[in-house]
C-alpha cells in the first residue's frame, strides 16, 4: 500500500497500546466533544478507520463535525478510564495541539441515532460518515475487487458495453434517452448487456465479463433499484455445468474475501423440486419447514375442503401456542395470495402419547385422516399444522409464502444458504390474454427434447417446455440467473413466435442478432448476478440501499440532487420534444 498520508502520520483507528510514546498527527472530524471546565476538552476524532480520544489542555472552539488536525503523543489512558467498547479505548492522544481545518454548521441530521430515510438520503454525504455506511461501502468495494480477481483468474476478459443502446428486453420497462442528432429517435439504457455479450461470443472473445450497470424501470423494493450493478458473464463452447462452476468459484472467492470463511458446498436442485419442497423458485434454505404433500391421505375424504387435486402442508414447530389473531392474519394473507382459506390444527397429545389434532375441521375428518396427518407432517405435541387445499401450483405458491412468513430469519442470522436452481421451465405462466410469460429472457435455449412442444405451441403445451436456465439463490434472494443461449436463428424465431413476437417485429428489434447467428455463432452460455444483493447479504443488510452510496428512494427520487427534475424548454426543443400538458 502507498504510505503517503498527507497531512497526517497515522489513522485514528489504528492506534493502540503498542504506540505508547509515539508522536502522531491525526486528521478527521470531531465525533463528540466533552469539556471539563474552561481548559480541558476531550475530543473524539473520527476518520474512516475509527475514533481516537484526544485530550486538549487549552481553550478551543472545536464543535461536532469540525474538521481538525491534531498533533500529540500517544499515551495509555489513566487507570480505570479505558473504554473497551472502542478499538482504541486503551489509549488517548495527549499534549494535543489542535488545528481547525474547517468549521461546520450544526448537523441537519443526527449522526449517532436513526433518522428518517428521506432525510438520510437528502444529506447522504453526511449519512456516509456513519460507521455503518463506511463499513458497507468498503464491503462492497471488496466484493467488486474479489469478483474481478476471480473472473480474471478464470480467463474472463473485462469488456465494457455501451449505455446508449437499442432495447434489451429483460422483462422491465426501458429508460429512454432522446437523441438530439436524430430527433424523434430514442436510445434505451441497457436493462442488461445481454445482446452485446452474445455478440462478443460471435466475435470470438471466448470469455467475457463486466461489472455492468443495468437500468430497469420497474417498481422499487428492498432488493430493487432502477439502476443496479451485476457481474455479467458469458462463455463460448461451454454449457450450464461450466457456467455454474465459474460463477460458484467467483461467488465463493468473494464470500471468502469478505467474511474470511468459504461459502461451502452449493447444492443444485431442479425447479420442480424447489417448487415442490419450498413452494418457491428461490427457496430460503436457512430453515426447514418444507412443504409436505398430503393429497393421498385425503383420497376418500368426506371433508369438502380436502376434495381437491392437491393438499399440502407445513408444520410450525412449537406453533400450537399461536394466538387466534395471528391465525386470522395468516388466513387473510393466504386468501390475498389466492387460496380459498387456510386449514390449521393445533397438535396435542393423547394419554398414550400419540399426537392429537385439534381444529375446526376435525369434525369432518375420519379418525384415520386425523391420525395419519400429523405422522406425515412429522408434527408432535405443541406444534401447529397448516394445510392448503387447491390446485398444485397455487397450493405450492401460497404455502411457500406462508413458510417465509412463519420461518424466515432476519438477513443477518442463519449464515449463507446458497443453492443453484436448474431446469427452469421456458415459460412460467400464461397470462390472462393467453400470452406465455418467459421465465428468463427470450434468448434462453429450450431443452432440446422439448422443441416439439414449442412448435405445436399454445397454452398448456408451452408450459411443458423446459429451458436450460439456472438461478443462483442465497437466503431466499434470487442473486442472479443465466442460461444456455439460443445460437440458431431458426430456434430463436420459434421462441419469438411463441412469445407473440411476429417475424416483422423480430426482424426490426433483433435482426442484428439473428443476422450475427448466421455468421458462425459458437454455442454459448452465461450468467449475471446482482452485486448490490450480494454486498447486502454480506453486510447483513435487508435493503440494498444500505450498500449503495447514492440510491434512490422508494419512489425513485433522489432527495439530494432533486432528480428527476424538469428540463429547460430550450433543451426540449433541441431534442425535438414538446411536453403534453399534464
Ligand atoms: N441478462 C440476464 C440478466 O440480466 C442474465 C443472463 O442471462 O446472463 O438477468
Per residue in 28-66, pLDDT (tens digit) is 999 999 988 888 899 999 999 999 999 999 888 899 999
R_g (Cα) of the chain, nearest Å: 30
Per 3-state DSSP, the chain is made up of helix, strand and coil in percentages (nearest 5) of 30, 25, 40
Residue whose CA is at the smallest distance from ligand 1 atom 4: 192
Distance 502 CA to ligand 1 centre (A): 23
Distance 439 CA to ligand 1 centre (A): 12
Ligand 1: atom nearest CA of 469 is 7
Edge-first strand order for the sheet with 268-270 is: 157-158, 207-215, 227-236, 524-530, 477-484, 469-474, 418-422, 268-270
Short-list 86, 136, 130, 134, CA closest to 111: 130
Distance (Å, whole) CA 357 – CA 348: 6
Distance 243 CA to ligand 1 centre (A): 13
Average pLDDT over residues 480-488: 97
Residue 455 has pLDDT above 80, yes or no: no
β-strand 91-102 against 384-390: which pairing, if any? Answer: unpaired
444 lines ligand 1 (CB under 6 A): no
Choose one of 165, 239, 482, 487 to mutate for the ligand 1 pocket test, by most ligand atoms within 8 angstroms of C-beta: 482
Average pLDDT over residues 565-579: 93
β-strand 469-474 against 477-484: which pairing, if any? Answer: antiparallel
Average pLDDT over residues 118-139: 97
User: What share of the chain in percent tops pLDDT 70?
Assistant: 99
Average pLDDT over residues 501-528: 96
Residue whose CA is at the smallest distance from ligand 1 atom 8: 527
Ligand 1: atom nearest CA of 483 is 7
Judged by DSSP in three states, 21 sits in: coil
Distance (Å, whole) CA 408 – CA 512: 45
Ligand 1: atom nearest CA of 191 is 4
198 lines ligand 1 (CB under 6 A): no
530 lines ligand 1 (CB under 6 A): no
**pLDDT reported for residue 17:** 97
Average pLDDT over residues 184-206: 97
Distance (Å, whole) CA 562 – CA 565: 6
DSSP single-letter state for residue 222? T
Residue 349 has pLDDT above 90, yes or no: yes
**pLDDT reported for residue 75:** 98
**pLDDT reported for residue 99:** 97
DSSP single-letter state for residue 198? H
Residue 125 has pLDDT above 80, yes or no: yes
Residue whose cell numbers read 443453484: 420
Distance (Å, whole) CA 187 – CA 177: 5
527 lines ligand 1 (CB under 6 A): yes
472, β-bridge pairs: 420, 480
Label residue 402 exposed, middle or buried (CB < 10 Å: 0-12, 13-18, 19+): buried
Distance 467 CA to ligand 1 centre (A): 14
DSSP single-letter state for residue 553? -
355 lines ligand 1 (CB under 6 A): no
Judged by DSSP in three states, 217 sits in: strand
Distance 482 CA to ligand 1 centre (A): 5
For 568, the grid coordinates are 429547460
**pLDDT reported for residue 272:** 95
Residue 191 has pLDDT above 80, yes or no: yes
Question: pLDDT tens across 382-408, in order?
Answer: 999 999 999 999 999 999 999 999 999
Average pLDDT over residues 287-314: 97
Label residue 87 exposed, middle or buried (CB < 10 Å: 0-12, 13-18, 19+): middle
Short-list 113, 11, 100, CA closest to 63: 100
pLDDT interval class at 1 (50, 70, 90): low
Residue whose CA is at the smallest distance from ligand 1 atom 7: 482
**pLDDT reported for residue 500:** 87
Q: Output the CA–CA distances (angstroms, integers) from residue 253 to 220, 263, 408, 547, in the order listed.
A: 30, 8, 26, 19
Distance 541 CA to ligand 1 centre (A): 24
pLDDT interval class at 428 (50, 70, 90): confident
pLDDT interval class at 462 (50, 70, 90): confident
Residue whose CA is at the smallest distance from ligand 1 atom 1: 194
**pLDDT reported for residue 457:** 58
Distance 471 CA to ligand 1 centre (A): 10
482 lines ligand 1 (CB under 6 A): yes
pLDDT interval class at 149 (50, 70, 90): very high
Question: pLDDT tens across 276-288, in order?
Answer: 999 999 999 999 9
Distance (Å, whole) CA 253 – CA 267: 17
Mean pLDDT of the chain: 95
Distance 281 CA to ligand 1 centre (A): 16
pLDDT interval class at 223 (50, 70, 90): confident
51 lines ligand 1 (CB under 6 A): no
**pLDDT reported for residue 456:** 67
168 lines ligand 1 (CB under 6 A): no
Q: Output the CA–CA distances (angstroms, integers) from residue 252 to 150, 240, 286, in the order listed.
A: 9, 18, 18
Q: Contact 90/82 with Cβ under 8 angstroms? A: yes
Distance 421 CA to ligand 1 centre (A): 15
471 lines ligand 1 (CB under 6 A): no
Ligand 1: atom nearest CA of 480 is 9
Choose one of 480, 485, 487, 495 to mutate for the ligand 1 pocket test, by most ligand atoms within 8 angstroms of C-beta: 480
**pLDDT reported for residue 341:** 96
Q: At what angle do helices 531-539 and 240-259 cross, to 10 degrees?
A: 40
Q: Contact 313/279 with Cβ under 8 angstroms? A: no
Average pLDDT over residues 317-327: 96
526 lines ligand 1 (CB under 6 A): yes
Residue 438 has pLDDT above 90, yes or no: no
Greatest CA separation found in the chain?
90
Judged by DSSP in three states, 214 sits in: strand
Distance 235 CA to ligand 1 centre (A): 13
Distance 23 CA to ligand 1 centre (A): 54
Neighbours of 508 (CB within 10 A): 11
Ligand 1: atom nearest CA of 443 is 7
Short-list 394, 283, 415, CA closest to 340: 394
Distance (Å, whole) CA 297 – CA 300: 8
481 lines ligand 1 (CB under 6 A): yes
For 143, the grid coordinates are 466484493
**pLDDT reported for residue 373:** 97
Sign of CA dihedral 16, 21, 24, 30: positive
Amino acid at each position: 500500500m502507498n504510505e503517503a498520508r498527507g497531512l497526517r502520520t497515522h489513522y485514528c483507528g489504528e492506534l493502540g497500546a503498542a504506540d505508547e510514546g509515539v508522536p502522531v498527527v491525526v486528521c478527521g472530524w470531531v465525533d463528540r466533544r466533552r469539556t471539563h471546565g474552561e481548559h480541558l476538552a476531550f475530543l473524539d476524532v473520527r476518520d474512516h478507520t475509527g475514533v481516537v480520544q484526544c485530550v486538549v489542555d487549552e481553550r478551543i472552539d472545536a464543535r461536532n463535525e469540525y474538521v481538525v488536525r491534531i498533533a500529540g503523543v500517544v499515551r495509555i489512558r489513566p487507570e480505570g478510564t479505558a473504554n473497551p467498547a472502542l478499538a482504541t479505548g486503551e489509549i488517548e492522544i495527549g499534549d494535543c495541539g489542535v488545528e481547525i481545518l474547517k468549521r461546520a454548521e450544526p448537523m441537519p441530521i443526527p449522526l449517532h441515532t436513526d433518522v428518517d430515510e428521506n432525510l438520510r438520503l437528502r444529506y447522504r454525504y453526511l449519512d456516509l460518515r456513519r460507521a455503518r455506511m463506511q463499513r458497507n461501502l468498503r464491503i462492497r468495494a471488496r466484493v467488486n475487487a474479489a469478483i474481478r480477481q476471480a473472473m480474471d483468474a478464470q480467463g474472463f476478459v473485462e469488456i465494457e458495453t455501451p449505455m446508449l443502446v437499442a432495447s434489451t428486453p429483460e422483462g422491465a420497462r426501458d429508460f429512454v434517452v432522446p437523441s438530439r442528432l436524430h430527433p424523434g429517435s430514442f436510445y434505451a439504457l441497457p436493462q442488461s448487456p445481454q445482446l452485446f455479450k452474445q455478440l462478443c461470443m460471435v466475435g470470438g472473445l471466448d470469455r467475457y465479463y463486466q461489472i455492468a450497470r443495468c437500468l430497469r424501470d420497474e417498481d422499487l423494493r428492498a432488493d430493487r433499484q432502477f439502476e443496479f450493478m451485476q457481474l455479467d458473464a458469458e462463455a463460448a463452447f461451454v454449457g450450464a455445468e461450466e457456467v455454474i462452476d465459474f460463477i460458484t468459484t467467483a461467488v465463493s472467492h468473494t464470500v471468502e474475501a469478505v467474511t474470511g470463511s468459504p461459502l461451502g458446498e452449493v447444492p443444485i436442485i431442479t425447479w420442480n423440486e424447489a417448487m415442490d419442497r419450498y413452494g418457491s423458485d428461490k427457496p430460503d434454505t436457512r430453515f426447514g419447514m418444507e412443504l409436505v404433500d398430503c393429497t393421498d391421505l385425503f383420497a376418500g375424504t368426506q371433508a369438502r375442503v380436502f376434495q381437491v387435486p392437491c393438499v399440502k402442508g407445513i408444520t410450525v414447530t412449537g406453533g400450537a401456542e399461536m394466538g387466534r389473531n395471528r391465525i386470522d392474519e395468516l388466513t387473510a394473507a393466504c386468501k390475498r395470495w389466492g387460496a380459498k382459506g387456510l386449514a390449521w390444527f393445533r397438535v396435542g397429545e393423547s394419554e398414550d402419547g400419540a399426537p392429537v389434532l385439534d381444529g375446526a375441521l376435525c369434525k369432518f375428518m375420519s379418525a384415520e385422516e386425523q391420525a395419519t396427518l400429523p405422522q406425515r407432517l412429522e408434527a408432535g405435541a405443541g406444534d401447529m399444522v397448516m394445510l392448503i387445499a387447491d390446485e398444485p401450483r397455487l397450493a405450492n405458491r401460497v404455502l411457500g409464502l406462508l413458510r417465509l412468513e412463519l420461518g424466515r430469519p432476519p438477513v443477518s442470522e442463519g449464515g449463507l444458504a446458497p443453492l443453484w436452481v436448474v431446469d427452469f421451465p421456458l415459460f412460467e405462466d400464461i397470462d390472462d390474454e393467453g400470452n406465455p410469460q418467459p421465465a428468463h429472457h427470450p434468448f434462453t435455449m429450450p431443452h432440446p427434447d422439448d422443441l416439439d412442444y414449442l412448435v405445436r405451441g399454445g397454452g398448456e403445451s408451452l408450459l411443458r417446455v423446459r429451458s436450460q436456465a439456472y438461478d443462483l439463490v442465497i437466503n431466499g434472494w434470487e442473486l442472479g440467473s443465466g442460461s444456455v443461449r439460443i445460437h440458431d436463428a431458426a430456434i430463436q424465431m420459434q421462441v419469438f413466435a411463441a412469445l407473440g413476437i411476429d417475424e416483422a417485429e423480430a426482424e426490426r428489434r433483433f435482426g442484428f442478432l439473428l443476422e450475427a447467428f448466421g455468421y458462425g455463432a459458437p454455442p454459448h452460455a452465461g450468467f449475471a448476478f446482482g452485486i448490490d444483493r450480494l454486498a447486502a447479504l454480506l453486510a447483513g443488510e435487508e435493503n440494498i440501499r444500505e450498500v449503495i452510496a447514492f440510491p434512490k428512494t422508494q419512489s425513485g427520487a433522489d432527495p439530494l440532487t432533486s432528480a428527476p427534475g424538469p428540463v429547460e424548454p430550450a433543451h426540449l426543443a433541441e431534442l425535438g420534444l414538446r411536453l403534453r400538458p399534464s
